[in-house]
Amino acid sequence: MRLLSPSLLLRASRGLATRACSRRDAQYLRRVSDGGFVLPAANPGVRLEPGFVDEAEEEALAAEARAAALSFGYDYDGDRRAHVLNPADGSIESTREVVNNTRVTGRPEKADQALPPWGYGDDFDESALPPAMGALAGRLRGSGLYNVGALRDLTLNLRRDSFFQLDPHLDPRLDGPHVFVLGLLSSVVTTFSPSDALLGANGLPPRRRGSLPSPGPARGVSETRPWRDARDSWLHAIRPGVEVDLADGAAVCDWWGQTDYLVRRSPSRISIVLAFAEG
């Protein structure tokens, strides 16, 4: 499954109280297998709130993220490759190496990591957040759409040069059961795939993974919550992207649903990941 963003995206754990998946969510979710839209009954627990922040709020949040990255960020060694396509037949010719990610998190991840003042987990201090980020957390809690409690983690990822690769993974359970991702500055396609363990439990081999792509429009937020599985057992990722020649020059794009549907990326993207306890 693929999700198109920029949007606010939510992933939440099975059984938690939150708004039902809707046809509005389905507009942003497509199957990799056939490009069809993912209707509410088949949604694994992904919810989207397009346009959750306006342009002024986006600018304020991006400025706070850049300032935090200067003080507390570290280069994150993810996959640095982007595919370069042959314009004649669409085949992959080569890959390009690019450093793509600066990360800020209160979760201890490296021995020499500079930790931001807001902390992590049971010791998270929401009052230490910069103003726009604190307002974002309060707005999510007060929206009436999601039954969230204390904030347990806020992580920033700043990616450059249109290379937004994110390896398939699950966020740590200690982060919290409700995970929101606010994408800023660029659209991107996020993929959701069942884990090998989940496929095995249903009698399917690992390579028969059905991926749901979700394209998030900028300034939208998404939440993952598996009263099905999007928070706890479906892996989320961002593919390396494909470089294609357009009328105004080469650009890195995402496939959304099928390889003939391309979504252009902007040069930079910032994601703000907020994890909440149950309300």
Task: For 4-62, write each residue's pLDDT tens digit.
Answer: 444 566 665 544 546 778 888 888 888 877 888 888 888 888 888 888 899 999 999 99
Percentage of residues of the chain with pLDDT beyond 70: 72
Residue 66 clears pLDDT 70, i.e. is over it: yes
Per-residue pLDDT at 228 exceeds 60: no
Looking at the predicted structure, is the pLDDT value of residue 197 above 90?
no
Total number of domains constituting the chain: 1
- Asked if pLDDT for residue 123 goes beyond 80, the answer is yes
113 DSSP assignment: P
**Arithmetic mean of pLDDT, 119-145:** 95
Q: How confident is the model at residue 193 (pLDDT cuts 50, 70, 90)?
A: confident
CATH number of the domain where residue 65 is located: 2.60.120.590
Give the angle 41-44-48 at the CA atoms, nearest 5°. Answer: 95
What band does 200 get if pLDDT is binned at 50, 70 and 90?
A: low
Tell me what percent of the residues of the chain surpass a pLDDT of 90: 29
Alpha-carbon distance of 141 to 61, in angstroms, equals 17
Identify whether the C-beta of residue 138 lies closer than 8 Å to the C-beta of residue 132.
no
Looking at per-residue pLDDT, the higher value among 183 and 262 belongs to 183
Tokens of 108: 């201890």
Give pLDDT tens digits for 69-118: 999 999 865 444 455 555 555 555 555 555 568 999 999 998 889 999 99
User: CA nearest 164: which of 239, 61, 94?
Assistant: 239
pLDDT at residue 203, rounded to an integer: 57
Q: How far apart are CA 176 and CA 212, in angstroms?
A: 23
Please provide the average confidence, as pLDDT, over all residues in the chain.
78
210 or 101: which carries more pLDDT confidence? 101
Least confident of 73-77, 152-156, 251-255: 73-77
Q: 106 lies in which domain range?
A: 2-278
143 close to 47: Cβ distance less than 8 angstroms: no
